[in-house]
Amino acid sequence: MRASGTSGGRSILIALASTVLFAVVVVLVVSNAPGWPEVQRQFFNGGLFRESLGVIPEAFFLNVRIFLIAEVVILVFALVLAILRSLEGPVFFPLRALAIVYADFFRGIPTILVIYMLGFGAPALQISGIPRDPLFWGVVALVLVYSAYVSEVYRAGIESVHPSQAAAARSLGLSRAQALRFVILPQAVRRVMPPLLNDFIGLQKDTALVALLGPVEAFRQSQIEVAANFNYTPYLVTALLFVLLTIPLARLTDWLVARERRSRLALGAAR
Amino acid sequence: MRKLHVLALTLVTLVALTAAACGGDEEPEDAAPATQATVAEPDPCAKDQLNLVTPGQLTIGTDNPAFPPWFQDAEGAPWDPTTEPTKQGYEAAVAYAVAAELGFSDGEVAWTVVPFDNAFRPGPKDFDFDINQVSYTEERDGAVDFSDSYYDVQQAIVTLKNSEYANATTLTEFDGAKLGVPVGTTSFDVIESTIQPGEDPAVFNTLNDAVNALKNRQVDGIVVDLPTSFFITAVQVPKGKIVGQVPSETQEYFGLVFEEGNSLRDCVNEALAALRENGTLDQIEQEWITDKANAPVLG
Amino acid sequence: MTDALRVEALRKSFNGTEVLKGIDLILAEHEVVCLIGASGSGKSTLLRCVNLTEPVTSGRILVEGEEITSPRVDANRVRRNIGIVFQAFNLFPHMTVLENITLAPRKVLGKPKAAAEGEALELLDRFGLADKAEEYPDRLSGGQQQRAAIVRALAMRPRLMLLDEVTSALDPELVGEVLGVIRELAESGMTMLIATHEMSFAREIANRVCFLDAGVILEEGPPEEIFSAPANPRTQEFLRRIIEAGRL
């Protein structure tokens, strides 16, 4: 029997070596492809990259503003929808049905369509008092669509809290609303933070759709640069910006999941 | 021993992949040279000497839909290049005129849809040239080759008739105006560099979206080339008005777009020069782009 | 003097299956009654009906003379005065022990935070948990969690305490500390209805023992009578099995 120490070290070495080998081969294959010089010029142009860095980040702030505003509204509105869906009793049936229809409809319809129909359709009605601002309607469209998804996430969270928690809370004399507010929801939200953050990351990228209505956000700005120069490198800059934004959020999600798992394991063990 | 086998297999596979990649040296085939009857040097712009995607056929690209007055179908509506070809419209007429100059009959002209972004993507093109109101700029010239001008273009501002900007006579009167453009047009640069209204311009995916925004009063005006502005105010937005042309220091022009280094470009330039000299281009302009004088130049 | 608890002809069905088949039970003030019986005999169901967690199918329940099964009754108000502790401790995991205990007094009774915390700490101290006040439930042992759950129920100053097999989920060495708490409560005069498997404990603290079997109270009486000389053959059978298992 080999001692596990030496075999562990050897497998690491083999893994490392094969990874490096693979990377080298990929680089060789790509750089020796006949079309590579042109692809490099069209996608990886250093000068244009630097130039775009001077223009696109500013437009990116619009994306950031959009998703910060939208996310706050989504978190609240989706919670309302989830609570409506959880109301029990025949007298609340219309509200429950409304919440179900809403979630089905706005998860089914493509986001682009909602943006177009609201962004161009609503102002076209020419009803006085209805705002015409495309940014407003873009955010509204994103809120309507994403709240549908997030409300389902909340619902999953609420239903994952064991009914004995609700029973314990009600037994102390707490009303249904108080039990929901102080006992169920805090636990539910903690549990679904990872999927909530997932939806948030998706929202960040969908902010680019607001450009359909006119506002120049990062993707549109890079499109303008691309068309002006007949070169795709600016797209790379935008892609990089989005990825750089996503990475800290993804790590945050991982950390939250790990923390939640630790505390739940501990709770389960103390029986 | 099993680990060694896996490693060896991986190595062999990777080497095979490398060999395959290096071995793929496919260059696009040029048109086969025809047999020559004479001993003298062949005319590089003879029809059978041209560098074509499909020998014997002139493949021209444009976007879908193609808007009047550049292209139109039998009913005067925007044209779909996947349907029956049309000779109606300024760019349609120019394209067929150039084809004829080069020696192609109408039947030897084929059309293909080339969305704007595809005109300059890397790799061999599937068109001989693209005609789509593409303005020449130095930056763009780095990625493709342009022909000489087939239309000298002016930019114009279109507003609604009851807009506060409808009666402006100078550019400064557009201070604070929210202007819109379709993406990818030089109109965007015109707003930023010449008009300078102080408000960020709105940029739309398509011309239709920009026109919609104008109708919804989500923008105060849109900036498009002058011929397109005629189409807009005549057909799409009857309540619209061409406020005037935007003056510019350099003359902007539309060029046909070629793959970089395509020798066909020089032959087409010769054809364009001939068409300009014999008045064909003027004639086409008279037929399809009217009332140029009725749009005043803004101060 | 009104009875602390009065159950009259209580019936309870779940989806057509009748679990409680006519229960009559009276608890006087300061009485401690233990419910014994096999699993599935209906002990938990009875307790959950008393605290209105389960709606009754037919029959009446009166707490201090008030009919709580009447449709016009505010169930939340009724539950304030009845404390219940479950087999699974059901502490709220996202709150500290102190927060667990003060939640209901503050939000339901409207007590100011300082007052609620003061009273909570007193109770925790009385039951030996003062040093755990700022801990989260996952840091407590099973016995500590159960004692905390009892304190949480007591913080509402209920007139009646219901205990549902509160030691059944505990490791044997932790059972004693919880029984100690219950013993102290009984000695301080709390009216209690206790469902339990701990027969020796029941014999020790109960004023009366009720044997529940298949949804009815087959036999009830003082512990000496029930445990030493049960009249009903089913009771005898049940106790014989308990003794054989070494639990009495």
Query: What residue segments make up the domains of chain C, in order of their start?
Result: 5-244
Specify the higher pLDDT residue, C238 or A257: C238
Q: Chain C contacts of A89, Cβ < 8 Å?
A: none
Coil vs helix vs strand at B232: helix
Q: How far is CA C155 from CA B148, C104, C150, in A?
A: 90, 8, 9
Q: CATH says C5-244 is which class? A: alpha beta
C220 strand-pairing partners:
C210
**In the prediction, which pLDDT does A254 show?**
84
Kindly state the percentage of chain A with pLDDT values over 90: 62
pLDDT at B26 exceeding the cut of 50? no
Interface of A with C in 242-271 (CB under 8 A): 263-264, 266-267, 270-271
**In the prediction, which pLDDT does C111 show?**
94
Global confidence as pTM = 0.79
**In the prediction, which pLDDT does C61 show?**
95
Taking only the tens place, the pLDDT of each residue in B159-216 is 999 999 999 999 999 999 999 999 988 899 899 889 999 999 999 998 989 999 999 8
At B116, the amino acid letter reads: F
Q: What is the mean pLDDT of residues C12-19?
A: 92
Range of the domain at B268: 47-152+252-294
> Lowest-confidence range among A234-248, A257-271, B113-127, B285-299?
A257-271
Same domain, B56 and B138: yes
Sign of CA dihedral C86, C88, C89, C95: negative
Task: Using CB atoms, list chains with 3+ pairs below 8 Å to chain A.
Answer: B, C
**In the prediction, which pLDDT does C89 show?**
83
Taking only the tens place, the pLDDT of each residue in C182-232 is 999 999 999 999 999 888 889 999 999 999 999 999 999 999 999 888 899
Q: Which helix (H) or strand (E) holds C66?
A: strand C66-67
Number of domains making up chain B: 2
Taking only the tens place, the pLDDT of each residue in A205-233 is 999 999 999 899 999 999 999 888 888 99
> Lowest-confidence range among A254-258, B20-24, B107-111?
B20-24
Contact (Cβ atoms closer than 8 angstroms) between residue A216 and residue B201:
yes
Q: Do B183 and A14 touch (CB under 8 A)?
A: no
Interface pTM (ipTM) of the complex?
0.90
Q: Chain B contacts of A25, Cβ < 8 Å?
A: 14, 17-18
Same domain, B146 and B162: no
Kindly state the percentage of chain A with pLDDT values over 70: 94
Same domain, B160 and B268: no
Contact (Cβ atoms closer than 8 angstroms) between residue C209 and residue C200:
no
Q: What is the mean pLDDT of residues A235-256?
A: 89
Residue B20 maps to a domain? no
**In the prediction, which pLDDT does B32 show?**
44
Q: Chain A contacts of C91, Cβ < 8 Å?
A: 168
Angle at B258 between CA B252 and CA B260, to 5 degrees: 105
Same domain, B162 and B242: yes
**In the prediction, which pLDDT does B34 show?**
47
pLDDT band at B9 (very low <50, low <70, confident <90, very high): low
B157 token code pair:
């501002």
Residue B115 maps to a domain? yes
Coil vs helix vs strand at B260: coil
pLDDT at B5 exceeding the cut of 70? no
pLDDT at A269 exceeding the cut of 60? no
Burial A112-125 (b: 16+ CB within 10 A, else e): eebbbebbbebbbe
Taking only the tens place, the pLDDT of each residue in A151-192 is 999 999 999 999 999 999 999 999 999 999 999 999 999 889
**In the prediction, which pLDDT does B8 show?**
57
Beta-strand runs (E) in chain B: 58-62, 109-113, 129-130, 145-153, 155-160, 179-182, 202-204, 221-225, 240-246, 252-258
pLDDT at B230 exceeding the cut of 70? yes
| Residue in C22, C72, C29 with CA at minimum distance from that of residue C49 | C22
Same domain, B204 and B237: yes
Same domain, B143 and B275: yes
Residue B35 maps to a domain? no
Q: What is the DSSP letter of B69?
A: T
Same domain, B147 and B187: no
Provide CB contacts within 8 A for C55, sequence distance 6+.
Answer: none
**In the prediction, which pLDDT does A41 show?**
84
Q: What is the mean pLDDT of residues A125-146?
A: 90
- Cα distance from A218 to chain B (closest Cα, Å)? 12
Q: Do B117 and A123 touch (CB under 8 A)?
A: no
**In the prediction, which pLDDT does B24 show?**
42
Taking only the tens place, the pLDDT of each residue in A12-50 is 999 999 999 999 999 999 988 888 888 888 888 888 899
Q: Which of B6, B9, B14 to mutate to test the interface with A (most CBs of A within 10 A)?
A: B14
C129 token code pair:
């948990």
Same domain, B261 and B144: yes
Taking only the tens place, the pLDDT of each residue in C111-125 is 999 999 999 999 999
pLDDT at C2 exceeding the cut of 90? no
Q: How high does pLDDT run on average in chain B? A: 85
Kindly state the percentage of chain C with pLDDT values over 90: 76
Residue boundaries of the structural domains of chain A:
62-217
Helix and strand totals (H; E) in chain B: 8, 10
Kindly state the percentage of chain B with pLDDT values over 70: 85
Starting from the edge strand earliest in sequence, which strands make up the sheet with C66-67, in order? C17-27, C5-14, C58-63, C66-67
C near B: at least 3 beta-carbon pairs less than 8 Å apart: no
Domain end point (choices B226, B246, B266): B246
Taking only the tens place, the pLDDT of each residue in B86-98 is 999 999 999 999 9
Q: What is the mean pLDDT of residues A78-97?
A: 92
Kindly report the CATH number assigned to the domain that includes residue B218: 3.40.190.10
Q: Do A212 and B204 touch (CB under 8 A)?
A: yes
Q: What is the mean pLDDT of residues A80-97?
A: 91
Q: Which of A158, A170, A172, A178 to mutate to test the interface with C (most CBs of C within 10 A)?
A: A172
Same domain, B67 and B119: yes
Same domain, B107 and B162: no
pLDDT at A120 exceeding the cut of 60? yes
Same domain, B201 and B58: no
Domain A62-217 superfamily per CATH: MetI-like (1.10.3720.10)
Taking only the tens place, the pLDDT of each residue in C63-114 is 998 999 998 899 999 999 999 999 988 999 999 999 999 999 999 999 999 9
Q: Chain B contacts of A56, Cβ < 8 Å?
A: none
pLDDT at B131 exceeding the cut of 90? yes
Same domain, B133 and B205: no
Residue B11 maps to a domain? no
Q: What is the mean pLDDT of residues C48-74?
A: 92
Contact (Cβ atoms closer than 8 angstroms) between residue B245 and residue B226:
yes
Residue B230 maps to a domain? yes
Specify the higher pLDDT residue, B263 or B297: B263
| Residue in A226, A235, A155, A164 with CA at minimum distance from that of residue A196 | A155
